[in-house]
A and B are shown apart, each in its own frame.
Chain A
């Protein structure tokens, strides 16, 4: 059994553990041991502002994907054969398009002279074009769209496994649809909710393309600080220290979530 996992472990070690370890080592080594790069992160305001912004955007994106994704997953789990496939296909289809292309598509849709503003103006709903892009809003909209499948899929896989009979049993005992949903379905779907929340939140923390293209330059998320540090200090250490701190945050989130729902259950429970 363990032998079967060997190739996968080897790939992970070669492509993830070693490079990440090398980067982490760079962050504390520059012609000798140094904590200079970390001192900078913990004392300079710019890092804290970007960390705060990144976590705020990640929270917004996570909340919005749950709000949009839960009904979709619910519909997909309850629809009959061709329809559930169709719903999932609609979720997956954009997933196969490059993130860059989708970010540009949002730019075309949302910019001042874009489709959305033109339609709104034609219907007389607005007199001045809305600023929907080149700011935090544009970043959130595009990121939600890109990460939606990561919310819908774990939700769907959890919901599918909830026995229908439980809802029927609830109804037979006199529970209304809303009551049965809140007391039976919702609690049973929670592992999927937590898995989706965690995946989307963690992925948003490292997002680069959407804030870069749709953030108007003001939306400086932490990944952009990493790339700025490469240019500014020309030392991998200055950039990797930021990455190490972000990685530590992510691991802490996983550890915290893992206390509520074990990781194996979250990612592929029976």
Chain B
């Protein structure tokens, strides 16, 4: 889907530039890169097309599931072709530290400047939110009162028997382990890595599968391979919409984001900055959840009345839901301690 999308955009761009050959100055354009699939399609409708129209620019698109190594090699080559990248926030921060992304001047991005400080950094601005939540099978736990509601419940194999799955990645998993061990959602950082891995050792024999892709986490829950899982909210809500007997709770969810950042030496830097401001415009942002189960990154989107009240309740970044979750600190994950924890993960998996 991603491929056909970028192909179509490329054709449109080619047609466009042909049409512009006669005129004196080519219209401004940027190359925008996201992760493809239904997600990129949703943003195209909600954010990219309206922004392009409003700014009078052409937004060319590309998609790649794992942008980080390519960001690095593009900048290393000295001639990057990408301008704006939508990527998990930790990569924007790491890119900033390693001189791969441009430092942002927020005076030129007023929409972002109005967002909460923890939603942006010197190099990035949050673009959309999703959450790592506790999901479970309703056939196994039909009664809401006796269903698992916290990570402590997830860890309690006596009170909540059943098969479990966690993500094969330390991000959000270490946070869940610490909450299971009694750390409050707003007191997580800096993570006590030692304590988190100790708690994970405890649940390890009861983890049937350590999932690697979002699709896999959904399949495991849907097929009854596992009874409870830590998964991304959008994956479980999609299953529920298709009629699967599954649900999830935002309680103690780990609120995560992707952010926009601009590659160092981007070919269309001024246009890219203009686009950044437009992308986090409250109305565009409010349009996103009308097309996909992700929450807007600009809280002002919730004041636009674009999103219905019933819909607001389903979104990870809605104030009511955000309140009961932990906000991931990407700054910690890109710190030396965070990177060490990430490296330690494989060692934990192999034993």
Contact = CB atoms under 8 A, between A and B. Distances in A.
Interface stretch (A145-153, A157-165, A212-220): A212-220
A216 B350 contact: no
Contacts of B342: 232
Contacts of A217: 168, 209-212, 349
Interface string B225-236: 100000000000
Contacts of A235: 72
A134 B69 contact: no
Interface stretch (A42-50, A85-93, A260-268): A42-50
A134 B94 CA distance: 33
A223 interface: no
B225 A46 contact: no
Nearest to A53: B350
Contacts, number: 53
Contacts of B72: 234-235
B69 A234 contact: yes
A78 interface: no
Interface string A197-239: 0000000000000001000111010000100101110111000
B343 interface: yes
Contact of B349 (A45, A131, A220, A230): A220
A1 to B, nearest CB: 42
Contacts of B212: 212, 217
Interface in B208-259: 208-212, 223-225
A189 B145 CA distance: 67
A102 interface: no
Contacts of B349: 217-218, 220
A216 B69 CA distance: 25
A230 B73 CA distance: 11
Interface string B77-118: 000000000000000001000000000000000000000000
Interface string A22-51: 000000000000000000000001100110
Contacts of B224: 112-113
Contacts of A216: 208-210
B320 interface: no
B69 A111 contact: no
Interface in A126-150: 131, 134
A228 B211 CA distance: 15
B14 interface: no
A216 B210 CA distance: 6
Q: How large is the interface on B (under 10, 10 to 19, 20 to 34, 35 or more residues)?
A: 20 to 34
Contact of A231 (B69, B168, B211, B350): B69
A112 B225 contact: yes
A37 B29 CA distance: 40
B340 to A, nearest CB: 11
B122 interface: no
A217 B164 CA distance: 13
A103 B71 CA distance: 32
Interface string A145-188: 00000000000000000000000000000000000000000000
B157 interface: no
Most B CB contacts (10 A, CB to CB) among A45, A218, A234 go to: A234
Nearest to B71: A234
A234 B68 contact: yes
Given A45-B347, A217-B168, A231 B209 contact: no
A225 B345 CA distance: 12
Contacts of B68: 231, 234
Given A112-B225, A113-B223, A216-B209, A49 B66 contact: no
A67 to B, nearest CB: 28
Interface of A: 45-46, 49-50, 53, 111-113, 131, 134, 212, 216-218, 220, 225, 228, 230-232, 234-236
30 contacts: A46-B346, A46-B347, A49-B350, A53-B350, A111-B223, A111-B225, A112-B163, A112-B224, A112-B225, A113-B224, A113-B225, A216-B209, A216-B210, A217-B209, A217-B210, A217-B212, A217-B349, A218-B210, A218-B350, A220-B346, A220-B350, A225-B346, A228-B346, A231-B66, A231-B68, A232-B342, A232-B343, A234-B68, A235-B72, A236-B69
Interface of B: 66, 68-69, 71-73, 94, 163, 168, 208-212, 223-225, 342-343, 346-347, 349-350
8 A-B pairs closest in CB distance: A217-B210, A217-B168, A49-B350, A134-B209, A234-B72, A46-B346, A216-B209, A113-B224
Given A111-B223, A112-B163, A236-B69, 6 more contacts: A46-B346, A113-B224, A216-B209, A218-B350, A220-B349, A235-B72
